[in-house]
Structure 1
Amino acid sequence: MKLFILSIVLLGVFGGVADPIHARAVEAQTEEVAAPPRFDFPDVHRRAQELARESYSDQFTPLPEAFKNLDYDRYRHIRFIHEKALWYGENLPFLMRFFHRGFLFERPVNIHVIDEGEIIPVPYRAELFDYGDNQMPEQLSDDLGFAGFQLLYPLSSEKHYLEFAVFLGASYFRAVGRGQWYGLSVRGLAIDTGLPRGEEFPFFREFWVKKPKAEDTELTLYALLDSPSVTGAYRFILKPGLSTDIEVKASLFFRNKVQKLGIAPLTSMFFHGENTERYMDDFRPEVHDSDGLLMVSGQGEWLWRPLSNPHNLQIHSFLDENPKGFGLFQRDRDFNNYQDLEAFYHLRPSVWVEPLNDWGAGRVELVEIPTDAERHDNIVAYWVPKNSLEINKEYNFSYRLRFITDDSEIHPGGRAIATRTGGGGTDKLDTSKRKFVLEFTGKKLNTLPVDTPIQGIVSASSGQLSSIVVQKNNVTEGWRLFFELEPENNKPVELRAFLKSGYDILTETWSYQWQPNK
């Protein structure tokens, strides 16, 4: 588990149980029980709307000192006992395990199960956990609560349950498909990310999980989001499999005006990669959870932006209207490029955000934060609506999250799979220039004959471009684009490039900001 560079907070208190509704049949003079109330998204929607009319409260049951003072390693010693998982032994397709409060996760979150219309709270009990060699208080309060939960499903075989999703910390959650390792995280909402005033972290204070049936292949849960500025009602439909999908429906209500709202925020890590120009004293060639931002505009243009670990905070905006999708991707799947037998970076999932309703005008924003260690999540991407959001007005966003390994299933065209750079020149090194080498691949692109007249179209915001060459790469079966840049006064340069043949655009647009190596 990595520690987030951003703060992680939780909040919640346990509520009551809904009683079944009884109806009296007067004519028959008999009493019969009507169907129990059906708890659904409108109920969470109403709670979020009512909560927005109330003043924000940050009160919660404090943690005992024994849990509050745990460091990362000692917190990991507290393990949930698998045989006590929710629905264990009931032959259901899903299991649910819980996280103990402690370390960074001080706030309790309220968790309920919806079983045939009845809302049943899931109470904390000390005997659910193995505390390892931690010295715990002799008696623990039954209202201590949980920090979050894990969801399990037989991803590989019908009898072997594997963890596929985690909800833990503020509004953070993660998921994996078959054969993947946990990597980047998703959040319910981002507020004022990258602004001098500091970021506000909404949190899920309450969850309701529908008890699955034996034949179910998806799981539905609801969440109530809260923060000083925003409340929200969320519905998640989780569909685990080769690539795990999560459909999200969110209704937002505002207590206060928000300067910048981030929809479907993705949080990842990029320490160093093939495009990193400064020296990293690391035996591993690359270290990252994601290596680029992929997006497709409302007009259908595909754009790829390789990630970087900058010297200073960098915020990049890509204007659009009704985007068709965006995401943070791990395109490099070659173990040899990572050489990490613990982190398995080559197995980290990519996450694609696909809007399911019109999002209007706005921008995809990419935030790159300097970091000196891989334990920090330093990359954030999200959608920012153009129009300011008003208090006492409801806003609705629906989207699908896809946790995938191969992005060719959503992106059929030519893709940039590598970005390398070094000193310019041919016979002699010319340090006044920078040479860029881009690798493109794709099903259709790779089948083009070697004598196909392919052009490399390259543009720069400043400086001089030269030596633009396109060459068939017989090793990757794709095509390689070379060009050199002579920067102007050693200042940052925005670069764009793609391949074409005649009037046919063969690849996505590669977009990159070159920074002088200070």
Structure 2
Amino acid sequence: PARDLPAGAGFAGFRLQESRSGHPGRNGEALDWKSNDWVAFLGASYFRAVGELYQYGLSARGVAIDPAVSGKAEEFPDFTHIWLETPQAGAEYIVIYALLSGPSLAGAYRFRMHRGNGVTMEIETALHLRKDVTRLGIAPLTSMFWYSETAKQTAIDWRPEVHDSDGLALWTGSGERAWRPLNNPPHTMASSFVDGDPRGFGLMQRDREEGHYLDGVHYERRPSLWVETDGRWGRGSVQLVEIPTDDEIHDNIVAMWVPEGPAKAGNAYNFRYTLHWLADEPFPTQLGRVVATRLGNGGQPGTTRPRGVRKFLVEFLGPALEAVPFGTKPEVVLSTSRGSFSYVLTEAVPDDVPGHWRAQFDLTVAGSEPVEMRCYLKAGDTVLTETWLYQYQPF
């Protein structure tokens, strides 16, 4: 049908439908290819795919130009031309070429997309800058986070949680695994995680409990999106932009790789990476993972609660914690950019789930400036969990 469009008809994008042979659905049934699509390219350089839970959610973009730069409007270049390579009979992938153009840059893209357990996209890109760019985002991901179990002071709503993603997962070039819960901050925040040759990063939806959302749009089925780097990406940083929102209709989260050094007119960039649209991270670890971050009043029950003190409970779950011998408690390792800790302890979560532990501590801090914290569990010299990173906005 696309070939039959008259010249100049114009179109906003395209979708790829499921296989005519009937891709198995979430409950094992064969999906009707006419009414079920698995990839959509629509608007500027935005595109998205269903995950293995058969639901759309967050989006990816070809590039991000100056998001959250003070005094400068963000630029949204367009995929102006798209070519679909005719697949051979029985092919399990489709290849797409795209030309990106905007005032500040031009780019060429190759997508090799496979529909399996979720969707994978092998992407090659070549970018050429026409103008200086303050913040050049490579492999940008765009999502929505309104509120979660951590803090709900930004919302009056009947649902327990509302978000397409609940955290940023990092796998650094040095091999560290980290988890940064998302925030809905009082004002726009940009966080930078400096690295060299990162192995990957992604915006994840870890909470899969339907009862934590109670919504017919099924946030518990939204895909997680992981960027697997290919080759040497050099020095730079994974940057996380969080924009205040008061509703679920606004995409307010951006995660991206920003190369080190100024992005000057005339610069050229080449990157290769794979996007994994799945329910979880594609490269699991034996380390305990963060499964919840909870905040409460500091101090102890039955006493006057002190002002300026917040209690944190960080829950971890995973095979390395299941192996902790009976009667042994993991040690919590904490650090903060400012303030002080008290009432620090670890305990098994009383739910009879093996390997489910939590770190508990109070943070005393003055003022309203953000606080950056780190936390992980260990036994002796053995690290048992990924690193919890958190930006606390005092309230």
Same-fold status (TM-score > 0.5): yes
**2:389 is aligned with what amino acid?**
S
What are the within-5 Å matches in structure 2 for residues 248-287 of structure 1? 248-278=123-153, 280-287=155-162
Contact 1:450–1:472 (CA<8 Å) still a contact in 2? no
1:149 correspondence with 2:14: yes
Q: Which among 229, 240, 258 is matched to residue 104 of structure 2?
A: 229
CA shift, 1:158, in A, is 6.0
> Secondary structure of 1:384's match?
strand
The match for 2:313 is 437
Unmatched 5+ stretches in structure 2:
none
Q: Note if 1:359 corresponds to 2:359.
A: no
Tell me: CA distance 1:469–1:327, structure 2 relative to 1, closer, same or farther (3 Å): same
Tell whether 2:114 aligns with 1:239.
Answer: yes
1:249 partner letter: E
Aligned mates of 2:148, 2:171 — CA distance in 1: 24
1:466 equivalent to 2:342? Answer yes
Report if the CA contact (8 A) 2:290-2:315 is conserved: yes
Partner SS, residue 399 of structure 1 = strand
Corresponding residue of 1:191: 65
Task: Please tell me whether residue 300 in structure 1 is matched to residue 155 in structure 2.
Answer: no
Partner-residue secondary structure (3-state), 1:233: strand
Match of 1:380 in 2: 254
Give the aligned CA root-mean-square deviation in angstroms.
1.7
Match of 1:122 in 2: 3
Mapping 1:154-165, distance limit 5 Å: 154=19, 155-156=23-24, 160-161=32-33, 162-165=36-39
Q: Aligned partners of 1:164 and 1:147: how far apart in 2?
A: 17
CA pair 461-304 structure 1, distance change in 2 beyond 3 A: same
What is aligned with 2:388?
A: 510
Which gives a bigger RCO, structure 1 or 2 (Cα 8 Å, sep 6+)?
A: 2
For the pair 1:493 / 2:371, whether they are aligned, the reply is: yes
**Deviation string, structure 1 residues 320-357 (Cα, Å, up to 9, x no partner):** 1111101111110001110101x100000110101102
How big is the shift at 1:214?
A: 2.4
Q: Is the 8 A contact 2:155 2:246 kept in 1?
A: no
Contact preservation (8 Å) 1:277, 1:422: no
* Superposed displacement of residue 409, structure 1: 4.2
On the 8 A contact 1:202/1:225 being kept in 2, the answer is yes
Give the aligned residue type for 1:206: H
Q: Secondary structure at the match of 1:367?
A: strand
Whole-Å separation in 2 of the counterparts to 1:500 and 1:312 = 35
**Partner-residue secondary structure (3-state), 2:106:** strand
**Per-residue deviation, 1:501:** 0.3
TM-score, normalization: structure 2?
0.92
User: 1:338–1:450: structure 2 CA closer, same or farther, 3 Å change rule?
Assistant: farther
Number of positions where the alignment pairs a residue of Structure 1 with one of Structure 2: 381
2:44 match: 170
Superposed displacement of residue 280, structure 1: 2.3
Which residue of 1 is the match for residue 322 of structure 2? 446
- Measured after TM superposition, the shift of residue 516 of structure 1 is 1.9
Residue deviations 1:459-486, cap 9 Å, x none? 1111110111111124243111111101
Could you say which structure has the larger radius of gyration? 1
CA distance in 1, matches of 2:378, 2:320: 13
Instruction: State the SS of the aligned residue for 1:445.
Output: helix
Q: Distance in 1 between matches of 2:380 and 2:54?
A: 40
Paired with 1:250 and 1:149, the residues of 2 have a C-alpha distance of: 20
What is the CA-CA distance between 1:382 and the residue it aligns to? 0.4
- Is 1:346 the counterpart of 2:220? The answer is yes
> Does the 8 A contact of 1:123 with 1:145 survive in 2?
no
Higher relative helix content: 1
Specify whether residues 328 and 370 from structure 1 end up closer, same or farther in structure 2 by C-alpha distance, changes over 3 A only.
Answer: same
2:293 equivalent to 1:406: no
Task: Flag the 1:432–1:450 CA change in 2: closer, same or farther, 3 A.
Answer: farther
Q: How does 1:65-144 map to 2 (within 5 A)?
A: 122-124=3-5, 143-144=8-9
Contact 1:424 1:484 in 2 (8 A): yes
CA distance, structure 2, for counterparts of residue 165 and residue 515 of structure 1: 37
SS of structure 2 residue aligned to 1:240: strand
Following TM superposition, by how much is the alpha carbon of 1:406 offset from its aligned partner in structure 2, in angstroms? 2.6
In the alignment, the residues of structure 1 paired with residue 154 and residue 147 of structure 2 have an alpha-carbon distance, to the nearest angstrom, of 9
Unaligned 5+ segments in structure 1 are: 1-85, 87-120, 126-141
Deviations 1:369-401 (A, max 9, x none): 011110000000100000224444432100000
How many angstroms does 1:159 deviate by? 6.5
CA distance in 1, matches of 2:124, 2:180: 28
Taking only the aligned residue pairs, the percentage that are identical comes to 45
Query: Counterpart in 2 of 1:481?
Result: 359
Counterparts in 2 of 1:178 and 1:350: CA distance versus 1, 3 Å? closer
| Contact 1:468–1:481 (8 Å) recurs in 2 | yes
